[in-house]
Structure 1
Amino acid sequence: MEPKVEFSRTRDFGEIINDSINFIKQNFKALFTPLLYINLIFILASIATGILIQIKTIELLGAERAGTLGVFSNATFVPGFGINYALYFLFYFLSYTVVQLVTLCFIDLYKKNGNTVPTKEEVWQACKAHFWRFTLASLLLFIIVMIATLFCVLPGVYLFPIASLVYVIVIMDDASFDQAFTRAFTLIKDHWWKTFGALFIVWLIAYFSVGLVALPGTLMTMSSFLFGESSSLSLTGAILNVVIQSFGMLVYSLPTITMALSYFSLSEEKEGTGLMERIQNLGTNTETGRDLPDEEY
């Protein structure tokens, strides 16, 4: 039997990616049950608003073909269109935030319970306790990274792995936003490339996984526009894409796990936190460390 993933140890670039995937494989049902249970309301809301946008978009495309209206130049002036977009992005943001929150709370409880899978109820209680603080931190990080990217792309890229660590620190250390931001800069010093590389690769895996599943809907939409098929085919493909992309949000738990593994690896390398925990638990918890590789002792 493959040993359970132990978070508090140093890892190189490849180990971070491999252990992220292994953690998903080992805890797939236990993790995705609370993910779907807690996030379902936001997923359904994003689907509903996304479908409304697609219906209006198809209507505008029909009007454009008739020579009466342009889609992109006039979409924002159609009553309710801007509101639908605002609601869609709101629910999409909340859905992504909750995916991160649930995943990090799951990992926090998993680690505190000695690599034992937490129950759905335990994850729910932890999410309720952290929801508002974590959502505010997520919003602030989004604004900071967006501003940095708008002024110049490179600052946004530089802040990407730092912001990822802030999410983890807010939950694992129960830290305020400013404390988490400062600690993230401290941990990533001299390790930016390793952290960025692992996150970038795993994000690509998650993004293309969702894109691959959504490919049939994309092909249906493209065939309708390119070959003049009925608008119903285009609408069916567009709706299928909205549903897949909304539920595909759950796949982004994989980059969140990578964020957590990167955080614990940096903490262990710079502060030896995992070693201190094992020393403190020595003789008090006989189960601790049984799943660790022999070289950890």
Structure 2
Amino acid sequence: MIQFEQRRDFGEKINASFAFVTEQIRGLGLSLLYIVGPVALVGGVISGMGQVELLDSAKSLDSPDKLVSFYANLFSGSRLIGMVFQLLAYVLTSLVTFSYIRLYRQQQSDKQIEVSTVWAEVQQYIGSGVFLSIASAFIIGFGFVLLIIPGIYVSVALTLAPAVLVFERQDMAQAISRSFKLVSGNWWSVAGLLFVMAIIVSILSMVFTLPAGILGGLFGAGVLKDITILTTLFTALASVGGAVLQGLSATASAFQYFSLIEEKEGTGLISQIDSIGQMPTRQGVSGTFGQGREEEGDY
């Protein structure tokens, strides 16, 4: 089993994330598909229908009235509702991934974790997770209103709040405060990991987003006349696929969280000392505890 309570450098966190997802691809993948999938699917279908309306408006921008109608479709009810469902899917992806990791750390065997067990765990955090996301959005938005740089800083400083919410069972305010505390002094390390994982996930997501993009291009060129069903189908597929792939970024955030916990508090070392003589110590995917290097400047 993979050891989470361990300090890791930049590359080790990425390697550990892929190792964990590969090892648990069935259990974690099914949990994301069954719990997050339906929400992402609804959001994708609604967004796909809104996308068709937008493409129809874009084909006939030959008057000021139609131009106004085009911009109105950008913020149409269907598109906004679709965005709400997709944002909810994003929140659920983090909660499912962190809940799965929490259950994984608690078990003492390689037995697969059931989706029903993960769902029972996730239900405890849905309300607080949604409110945490709303509060984070307001805080980040306020930071951008003041100046761009504070907004960027806050957006990174809040990334570990969902992990704190699940792993430490803290309330919303405590999760936000704790996230700021953990990221303090390690901002560049956290930002770098998030940036690299975002690029990796975006590249992998192209498998799901390219069909919808190609279809929109063919429609705009007049090659295809009616793409309502296909656009809705491909947009829904991209929504579900993107939500599942976000589990990889959430896994990297979990390894970042535990690495910072070890750097600042050393709870894993204390736990290992307490367990000497009781049970064998589990080894991580990138060496034993104590081999991690300092967070800042590792990359």
- Normalising by structure 2, we get a TM-score of 0.86
Query: Counterpart of 2:295?
Result: none
Query: Counterpart of 2:183?
Result: 188
Tell me how far apart the structure 2 counterparts of residues 255 and 236 of structure 1 sit (CA, whole Å).
31
Shift of the 59–219 alpha-carbon distance from structure 1 to 2, 3 Å rule, reads closer
Deviations 1:88-111 (A, max 9, x none): 121011111111110010011111
Q: Which has the higher helix share?
A: 1
Deviations 1:231-284 (A, max 9, x none): 325x46643541232112110011111111111000001100111122233333
Deviations 1:87-143 (A, max 9, x none): 112101111111111001001111122474422221111011121111211221122
Query: Counterpart of 1:147?
Result: 142
Name whichever of 87-96 and 136-145 sits farther off.
Answer: 136-145
Tell me how far apart the structure 2 counterparts of residues 252 and 294 of structure 1 sit (CA, whole Å).
26
Q: Per-residue deviation at 1:13?
A: 0.8
Tell me how far apart the structure 2 counterparts of residues 246 and 175 of structure 1 sit (CA, whole Å).
30
Shift of the 24–293 alpha-carbon distance from structure 1 to 2, 3 Å rule, reads closer
- Contact map agreement 1:114 1:288 (CA 8 A) in 2: no
Name whichever of 142-151 and 95-104 sits farther off.
Answer: 142-151
Secondary structure of the structure 1 residue equivalent to 2:123: helix
Unaligned runs of 5+ in 2: 291-299
Name whichever of 112-121 and 21-30 sits farther off.
Answer: 112-121
The match for 1:243 among 215, 219, 236 is 236
How large is the Cα RMSD of the aligned pairs?
Answer: 2.5
Tell me how far apart the structure 1 counterparts of residues 253 and 284 of structure 2 sit (CA, whole Å).
22
Tell me how far apart the structure 1 counterparts of residues 261 and 281 of structure 2 sit (CA, whole Å).
19
Amino acid corresponding to residue 238 of structure 2 in structure 1: Q
Of the two structures, which has the highest relative contact order with CA contacts closer than 8 Å and spacing of 6 or more? Answer: 2
Deviations 1:137-156 (A, max 9, x none): 12211222233234432222
Amino acid corresponding to residue 5 of structure 2 in structure 1: S
Unaligned runs of 5+ in 1: none
Tell me how far apart the structure 2 counterparts of residues 120 and 210 of structure 1 sit (CA, whole Å).
24
- Contact map agreement 2:7 2:259 (CA 8 A) in 1: yes
Query: Counterpart of 1:220?
Result: 215
Tell me how far apart the structure 1 counterparts of residues 198 and 262 of structure 2 sit (CA, whole Å).
24
Query: Counterpart of 1:70?
Result: 66
Q: Per-residue deviation at 1:19?
A: 0.8
The match for 1:105 among 95, 99, 107 is 99
Query: Counterpart of 2:20?
Result: 23
What aligned pairs does 1:268-279 form with structure 2 within 5 A after superposition? 268-279=262-273
The match for 1:200 among 177, 195, 211 is 195
What aligned pairs does 1:117-136 form with structure 2 within 5 A after superposition? 117-136=112-131
Tell me how far apart the structure 2 counterparts of residues 292 and 238 of structure 1 sit (CA, whole Å).
42
Shift of the 157–291 alpha-carbon distance from structure 1 to 2, 3 Å rule, reads closer
- Contact map agreement 1:58 1:231 (CA 8 A) in 2: no
Identity of aligned residues (%): 24
Query: Counterpart of 1:166?
Result: 161
Shift of the 54–292 alpha-carbon distance from structure 1 to 2, 3 Å rule, reads closer
- Contact map agreement 1:210 1:244 (CA 8 A) in 2: no
Shift of the 6–290 alpha-carbon distance from structure 1 to 2, 3 Å rule, reads closer
